[in-house]
Each structure stands twice: as structure tokens, then as C-alpha cells.
Structure 1
Amino acid sequence: MSYALGLYRLQQVDSRIDQVNTRLDAIRTVLENDSSTRAARATLEQAEKSLREAEKNLRTSEAASQAQRIKLEQTEASLYGGRVQNPKELQDLQNELAALKRHLATLEDSQLESMLTLETAREEHKAALTNLSQVEGQFISQNASLKSEQDTLQNNLENLKAERTATHSTIQQALLEKYETLRLKRRGLAVTTVSDQACDACGAGLTPAQAQSARISTQLVECPSCGRILFSN
């Protein structure tokens, strides 16, 4: 077996390992950091905050209206109770009563607005709860398929590691060191194939002699452009 063939087989295994690890990383990212669920929870939290504020505002409006009604009742009692006989005082009470009624109308309008706001907040809160439930349900369903894929990929990875160990043991240490150095320099691809007298990795053309050497030589032949080890059947 030529040196290039052994390294090419190792490269094939390493490339598959890289692909599996990339997919496993992507799955872990999805499982650990689902943006849809986070967004749905954030929406619910905001809806809960708005609901609490709306409830508080309504309680405040109700209390203000109730306090105003008490003042109104007290003024009416003073006006119509017969205890006040002085015309000026009676006129003052009538003016005060009219002002209290106007302010009560304003407070009741505000209370009605608070009630409508609360109703809207409750609807939005209910919608946010429903949305979160749906998103979490979808996420659980998606997770089931992703978890299954993750388990399959983990098994594949173990098999590939065993295959790599077996292939690795057949290659000389000096060649392995060269291979690993190239892997680091060339984004994981140290060995590439040749097609139509060109390097499949970078596309650089080869002379007929270089292409022939890559095909029949027992020694390593490197691409004159990218420096990767060339393998040709």
C-alpha cells in the first residue's frame, strides 16, 4: 500500500468524524439554546408584567372612584340634610357637589379605561400562555427526532474513532506528523484527490509528470499550489 493511500483512508475517516462532530455541535446548540422558546417565554413574561400593571391600575381607579362617591354622598347629606340654612353656604355646597360630580365622571371614565386595558391584558396573557404551550410542544416533538439523530451520530462517531485507530496504526509516525500538520494548516483537509490533472482541493493544474507521480509513486506527492498530499487511483 502506498503512503498516500494510507493517509487518504485516514483523511476519509477524519473528514467523516469532522462532519459528525459539526452536526452534533449544531444539535447541541438547538437543544440547549432554542430561540423560539426563549422568545415565547419573554413574551409571556412581558404579558404577565402588563397584566399585573393593569390590575394595579384598575384597583387604583376603583379606589379613587369609591373615595369620590363617599365625598359626594357626604356633600349631598350636608346639602339636603337641613342642617345648613345659610344661603351662601348652601350655594357653596351646590357648587362643591357639581364639582364632585364632574370629577367623579372623570374618574369613572378612567376606571372604564382601566377595565378595558385589563381585559386586553388578560387576552394577551392568555394568548402568550397558549403560544408558549404550542412552542414547547413543537420543541419537544423536534427534540425527539433530534435526540434520536444525536444518539445515532454518537454511535457512528464511536465506530469512526475505532476505524481511525485501526487506520492510524498502519501509518509511519513521521507521515502522521506531516499529515496532522497539514490538517491544521488546511482546515482539516491534508489529503486530496486528483481529477483531470488538477488538485481537487484548490483546483491548481498539475503537469503530466506530477499527475503520474501521484498515481504510481510510493512516495508522497504534494500539490505545487496548496501543498496538500495528492492521491490518485
Structure 2
Amino acid sequence: MSLASRLYQLQSSELQLRDQRRRLQETIDRLNHNEELAATERELESAEGRLKTAEKRQRELEWEVNDLSAKIRDLNDRLYGGSVRNPKELLSLEQDVQSIKKHLAGKEELLLEAMALSESIEAEVASLREQAGKLRGAWDEERGGLERLRETLETEVGRLAGVRLALRQELGPDASQRYDQVVRSKGVAVVKVEQGRCKGCNLTVPAGLWQRARAGEMVECGSCGRFIYVE
């Protein structure tokens, strides 16, 4: 294999290696974090917290309503039970009953609102739990495929890394260093010559240069400084 061919194969293997490493990292990131599921679980946690607060408020209002209802019953027992005969005291009891009833009506209205809120949040929680369950099921299936893909990509990355190492050893340190310098400055170090033009800069390559490249020499384009390769 000529020097130019090794350079072109080295570049090809490194580009493939970079692409496969990117895919591997994306796969690992996906395995480590499912954003859609995580977002749904955060929403569910928030809704469950709001439901807990709403239910607590509902219970407090229920206790207050029960307490006020009990007070009204006690006052009515005194008012109509015959144990109190003093007109002033009876009037006072009647006023107390009306005052507590008014207070009770306000609490009952608040209780109805609290119950409606609890029911609304309960429906939201139920919907989110169902959604999260479906996402977990789908994620369990997807994760198996991702694990297999990760194993495949890890194998391919290892293979390409071995190919790259072997090619660099064949090229030797001087040629590898020159190649790396062009990669750092140009991004792409090796370009083809097609119909007499460098594919890196699209300018005509002197016949003498591309003939040397065809012969397998390590030749740079006189215009863009990249190594040229002729199949």
C-alpha cells in the first residue's frame, strides 16, 4: 500500500472513529437520561404534592364544618329543649345560632371549592401516572435496544481505533506528525484529485504533482496545502 493510500485510509478511519464515538456518546447519554420520562415524573411529583396540600386543606375544612354544625346542634338543644326560659338568654342563643350558621355557610362554600380542587388534581395525577407508566414501559423496551447498540458501537470503536493505530505505525512518526499538523490547520488533511482538480480548494493541480500522488507519494496541494490522493 502506498503512502498516499495509507494517509487516505487513516483519515477515513479517523472520521469513522469520530462519528462512531459521537454515536456511542449519544447512546450512553440516552441510556443515562430519558428526558421525556424524567419531565413527566417531575410533573407527577409536583401534582402529587399539590394533591396532598389540597386534601389536607379539605380535611381541615371538613373538621371546621363538623365543629360548627355540632355547636349549632348544641345551641338548638338549649334553645328549644326548654331548659332556658329567660327571654334575654333565649334571644342571645338565637343570635349565636344565626352567627354560627352564617360562619358555617362560608366554610361550606370553601369546602365545596376545596373538594372540587382535590377532584381536579386527582384527575391530573391519575392521567400523569398513566402517562408515566406508558413511558416507563416504552423505555424498558427501548433500553434493551440501546444496550445492544452500545455494545455494537463499543466494538466498532475498538476496531477502528486498532485500524488507526496500525496505519499510524505503518506511516511512521514523521508522516503522522505532518498529517496531524494539516488536520489541525485545515480540518481535512487528505483530499482527492478528480479531473485534475483538488477537491479541497477546487483548483487545478499541476500534472506533475498529481502524477506523483498517483505514484503514492505524500504530496501537498500547492494551493490549499492539503495532501492529495489520486485513485
Q: Establish whether TM, by shorter chain, passes 0.5.
A: yes
5+ long unaligned stretches in structure 2: none
Matched-pair contact (CA < 8 Å) for 2:11–2:189: yes
**Which residue matches 2:225?**
227
**Are 2:66 and 1:66 equivalent residues in the alignment?**
yes
Say how many residue pairs are matched: 231
Q: Does 1:136 pair with 2:136?
A: yes
Cα distance, 1:214 vs structure 2: 5.8
Is the Cα contact below 8 Å between 1:198 and 1:206 reproduced in 2?
Answer: yes
SS in 2 for 1:169: helix
Task: Verify the 8 A CA contact 2:17 2:160 in the aligned structure 1.
Answer: yes
Q: Note if contact 1:214-1:231 (Cα within 8 Å) is conserved in structure 2.
A: no
Distance 1:226 1:127 in 2: 61
Q: 1:140 to 1:67 in 2, by over 3 A?
A: same
Deviations 1:182-201 (A, max 9, x none): 233334x322222333333x
Paired residues of 2:190 and 2:228 also in contact (CA < 8 A): yes
1:85–1:32: structure 2 CA closer, same or farther, 3 Å change rule? same
1:76 aligns with 2:76: yes
1:196 aligns with 2:156: no
Find the aligned partners of 1:9 and 1:46 in 2 and give their Cα distance: 55
Aligned to 1:14: 14
Displacement, 1:228? Answer: 2.0
Secondary structure of the 1:194 match is strand
Amino acid at match of 2:185: K
Aligned to 2:116: 116
Query: Are the counterparts in 2 of residues 194 and 211 from structure 1 also a CA contact under 8 Å?
Result: no
Q: Which residue of 2 aligns with 1:178?
A: 178
Question: Which residue number in structure 2 is paired with residue 205 of structure 1?
Answer: 203
Deviation at residue 231 of structure 1 after TM alignment? 0.9
Does the 8 A contact of 2:213 with 2:219 survive in 1? no
Alignment-mate amino acid for residue 222 of structure 1: E
**Do the aligned partners of 1:204 and 1:225 also contact (CA within 8 Å) in 2?**
no
Post-superposition shift, 1:90? 1.8
Runs of 4+ in 1 over 4 A off after TM superposition: none
Q: CA RMSD in A?
A: 2.1
Corresponding letter in the other structure for 2:203: G
Match of 1:44 in 2: 44
Question: Could you state the TM-score of these two structures normalised by the residue count of structure 1?
Answer: 0.89
Residue 207 to residue 191, structure 1, CA distance change in 2 (3 Å): closer
Gaps of 5+ in 1: none
